[in-house]
Amino acid sequence: MRVNFTVNGRPQEADDVWEGESLLYVLRERLGLPGSKNACEQGECGSCTVRLDGVPVCSCLVAAGQAEGRDVVTVEGLADFAKQRGEQGGCASGASGASGASGSCGTSLQDAQGWSAKGQDSQTGEGTELAPIQQAFIDAGAVQCGFCTPGLLVAADEMLERNPNPSDADIREALSGNLCRCTGYEKIMDAVRLAAARQGEAV
Amino acid sequence: MDFLRPASWEEALAAKAEHPTAVPIAGGTDVMVEINFDHRRPEYLLDLNRIGDLEEWEVGEESVRLGASVPYTKIMENLRGELPGLALASHTVASPQIRNRGGVGGNLGTASPAGDAHPALLAAGAEVEVESVRGSRLIPVDDFYTGVKRNALAPDELIRAVRIKKADGPQQYSKVGTRNAMVIAVCAFGLALHPETRTVRTGIGSAAPTPVRAKAAEEFLNAALEEGGFWDNGKIITPSVAKQFADLCSGACNPIDDVRGTASYRRHAVGVMARRTLTWTWESYRGTAGRTNKGSAA
Ligand SMILES: Cc1cc2nc3c(=O)[nH]c(=O)nc-3n(C[C@H](O)[C@H](O)[C@H](O)COP(=O)(O)OP(=O)(O)OC[C@H]3O[C@@H](n4cnc5c(N)ncnc54)[C@H](O)[C@@H]3O)c2cc1C
Ligand code: FES
Ligand code: FES
């Protein structure tokens, strides 16, 4: 079957989708967006977390057909999404389910596929602009193998959108569906605290 | 496989009547795991996500009509006052991502003895509103669970909503697991005080082939509270009464040994949770003005 939906602000069309296929599979294998990771396919690890009409979900547990006509934000579109939100002083369009049908904003598939975490040096800020949460993960050393990172970024970014001044308990709760086998979580906590603090300064 | 995408409730009922083997999919947090792992290859998937009615709830005089697909997150955020037991139980389900998708309709559809909604529904008192092209009926939740992962739905029926009695007193939910998030219950216990009818109701999860109420324990406690005038005088429940209640709750279990825990551990833990939740709810009841006659609650 064919599935039409919006990914990172751009209308997309996936063809020959098997009816039992997950949204995660469609993103990775049919649209060439491998940012969302496949680690468990059973909702346990959160590495496949994306936003579906603004809501963080495990894309491995969304049937592709259920995404028809809906709005998906993946880690590849996170920087643009955060930027848009900043400009609009609150919610980015994806969160409201607006389809961005004009195609005037959002990340093109080509850009998204070519995405990489440049600008490692926060001093020079060279390369592609990262979302504040991505920069904070780099600055706090919260990335080791990186497999859990995309899901954590999407989940953490959504929490900071809802709750700009999270307590440690809030952070732990919001990230409780994301497993990391490398960092021991402390650096991840640091990164989210850092992003929250920077967000506070920016206001 | 075919993917059916009804745009309305009527279309969904018609599709289910035409294809009784079709597997409904709401949040997909049970169904997709089975498909991803090749445990299930349904001929038809019946997507319920386009039916907005299923994601709505109505708060009435006596009860809340909770649409089958209202995700746990919404229950936690919006119905804590009306459905405190279910809101607490919802908060223990998995993780934010799962709670954003999964809901009570899916929990009832799966009817796992470990499903967290069940003890809360049993304790609060609820009816499952099911419908087919033949008509609709209300199934008391006590009669809904018919076996391990079996429920009372006919092949052409879908769950429209659950009608849950609004809380008229304190409710609690307790669950044993190895960590706070992402844990399937080793066993679980729900308790609701109903001061209006002067009754106590319970629900036990993961300690029998189906979710069950501890009826003998409820009857014992109802009688003991009545006899001692506890509902009026608001006195502390005597330890011997609490212990007997706990023992009877343990006795209501019919558990198995499995990877999550042994049968005897489950029986023990249910007793502990029964005593604790009784203490918590009773303390809260004593502290409220809900009592008809404020005795000397020293
Ligand atoms: C990682 C993980 C952790 C989990 N942890 C918990 C936990 O802690 N506690 C817990 O209770 N559960 C847990 N679950 C199980 C699951 O999330 C719940 O059972 C949830 O309530 C299912 O809801 P859903 O909408 O996703 O159901 P779906 O997967 O969409 O459906 C579940 C079943 O119900 C049927 N169904 C759905 N809607 C209807 C309807 N309206 N009418 C008739 N049949 C219907 C489906 O056909 C299917 O058989 C977990 C699952 C995962 C993946
Ligand atoms: S791959 Fe989806 S939660 Fe692990
Ligand atoms: S950095 Fe390796 S899993 Fe988290």
Q: Give the pair of three-digit tokens for residue B83.
A: 């459905």
Integer-rounded Cα radius of gyration of chain A: 16
Read off the amino acid at residue B246: A
Q: Give the pair of three-digit tokens for residue B161.
A: 């909503």
Place of tokens 């409904």: B24
- What is the tally of structural domains in chain B? 2
CB-CB: which of B29, B35, B96 is closest to A20? Answer: B35
Distance in angstroms (rounded) separating the CA atoms of residues A88 and B72: 29
Residue B238 belongs to domain with CATH number: 3.30.390.50
- The predicted-structure confidence for A137-187, as pLDDT tens digits, reads as follows 999 999 999 999 999 999 999 999 999 999 999 999 999 999 999 999 999
Residue B32 · residue B38 · CB < 8 Å: no
Q: Which pLDDT value is given to residue A91?
A: 55
Residue A37 · residue A150 · CB < 8 Å: yes
Q: Taking the CA atoms of B131, B137, B138 and B139 in sequence, report the sign of the dihedral they define.
A: negative
Is there a domain that residue B247 lies in?
yes
Is residue B253 within 6 Å of ligand 1 at its C-beta? Answer: no
Q: Give the pair of three-digit tokens for residue A87.
A: 């400009």
Neighbours of A16 (CB within 10 A): 9
Q: Whose CA is nearest to atom 28 of ligand 1?
A: B28
Nearest CA-CA distance, residue A155 and chain B, Å: 9
Is there a domain that residue B127 lies in?
no
Q: Which pLDDT value is given to residue B72?
A: 98
Is there a domain that residue B219 lies in?
yes
Longest Cα separation, chain A? 48
Across the interface, whether the CB atoms of A61 and B33 are under 8 A apart is answered yes
Is residue A178 within 6 Å of ligand 2 at its C-beta? Answer: no
pLDDT above 70 as % of chain A: 81
Residue B108 · residue B162 · CB < 8 Å: yes
Across the interface, whether the CB atoms of B97 and A49 are under 8 A apart is answered yes
Is there a domain that residue B126 lies in?
no
Read off the amino acid at residue A187: K
ipTM: 0.93
Q: Give the pair of three-digit tokens for residue B146.
A: 């018919």
Distance in angstroms (rounded) separating the CA atoms of residues B203 and A203: 48
**What are the structural domains, with CATH classification, of chain A?**
3-73 (3.10.20.30), 77-202 (1.10.150.120)
Is there a domain that residue B172 lies in?
no
Q: Which residues of B touch A173 (CB under 8 A)?
A: 96, 181
Residue A154 · residue A50 · CB < 8 Å: yes
Is there a domain that residue B23 lies in?
yes
Q: What average pLDDT does chain A have?
A: 88
Neighbours of B53 (CB within 10 A): 14
Residue B27 belongs to domain with CATH number: 3.30.43.10
Q: Which helix (H) or strand (E) holds B204?
A: strand B199-205
Q: Which pLDDT value is given to residue A127?
A: 60
- The predicted-structure confidence for B151-189, as pLDDT tens digits, reads as follows 999 999 999 999 999 999 999 999 999 888 888 999 999
Distance in angstroms (rounded) separating the CA atoms of residues B177 and B158: 31
Q: Which residues of A touch B42 (CB under 8 A)?
A: 20
- pLDDT tops 70 at residue A90: no
Across the interface, whether the CB atoms of B28 and A41 are under 8 A apart is answered no
Distance in angstroms (rounded) separating the CA atoms of residues B66 and B83: 10
Nearest CA-CA distance, residue B62 and chain A, Å: 32
Is there a domain that residue B78 lies in?
no
Q: Which pLDDT value is given to residue A88?
A: 81
Closest ligand 2 atom number to CA of residue A40:
4
Distance in angstroms (rounded) separating the CA atoms of residues B84 and B79: 7
Neighbours of B210 (CB within 10 A): 20
Q: Tens place of pLDDT for every residue, chain B, 298 residues?
A: 999 999 999 999 999 999 999 999 999 999 999 999 999 999 999 999 999 999 999 999 999 999 999 999 999 999 999 999 999 999 999 999 999 999 999 999 999 999 999 999 999 999 999 999 999 999 999 999 999 999 999 999 999 999 999 999 999 999 999 888 888 999 999 999 999 999 999 999 999 999 999 999 999 999 999 999 999 999 999 999 999 999 999 999 999 999 999 999 999 999 999 999 999 999 999 988 555 544 444 3
Distance in angstroms (rounded) separating the CA atoms of residues A44 and A132: 26
Determine if residue A37 is left, alpha or beta; phi over 0 gives left, psi from -120 to 50 gives alpha, anything else beta. beta
Q: Which pLDDT value is given to residue A117?
A: 54
Is residue B176 within 6 Å of ligand 1 at its C-beta? Answer: no
pLDDT band at A110 (very low <50, low <70, confident <90, very high): confident
Q: List the one residue out of B172, B151, B191, B194 whose CA is nearest residue B290.
A: B194
Residues lining ligand 3, CB < 6 A? A 143-148, 180-183
Query: Model-level pTM?
Result: 0.93
Q: Which helix (H) or strand (E) holds A133?
A: helix A132-140
Nearest CA-CA distance, residue B27 and chain A, Å: 7
- pLDDT tops 70 at residue A97: no
Mean pLDDT of A9-28: 97
Question: Within 13 Å of residue B85, how many CA atoms lie on the same side as its CB?
Answer: 36
Is residue A43 within 6 Å of ligand 1 at its C-beta? Answer: yes
- pLDDT tops 60 at residue A17: yes
Q: Which residues of B touch A43 (CB under 8 A)?
A: 29, 32-33, 94-95, 97-98
Is residue B70 within 6 Å of ligand 1 at its C-beta? Answer: no
Across the interface, whether the CB atoms of A66 and B1 are under 8 A apart is answered no
Is there a domain that residue B110 lies in?
no
Ligand closest to A152 (CA) is: 3
What is the CA(B101)–ligand 2 centre distance, in A? 14
- pLDDT tops 80 at residue A53: yes
CA of B180: which chain A residue's CA is closest?
A176
Domain with B218 in it: 183-285
Question: Within 13 Å of residue A45, how many CA atoms lie on the same side as its CB?
Answer: 17
- pLDDT tops 70 at residue A96: no
**Parallel, antiparallel, or unpaired for β A49-52 and A71-73?**
antiparallel
> For A71-176, where are the E strands, in sequence order?
71-73
What is the CA(B88)–ligand 1 centre distance, in A? 17
Residue A71 pairs in a beta bridge with A6
Distance in angstroms (rounded) separating the CA atoms of residues B293 and B298: 14
Q: Whose CA is nearest to atom 4 of ligand 3?
A: A180
Distance in angstroms (rounded) separating the CA atoms of residues A153 and A136: 10
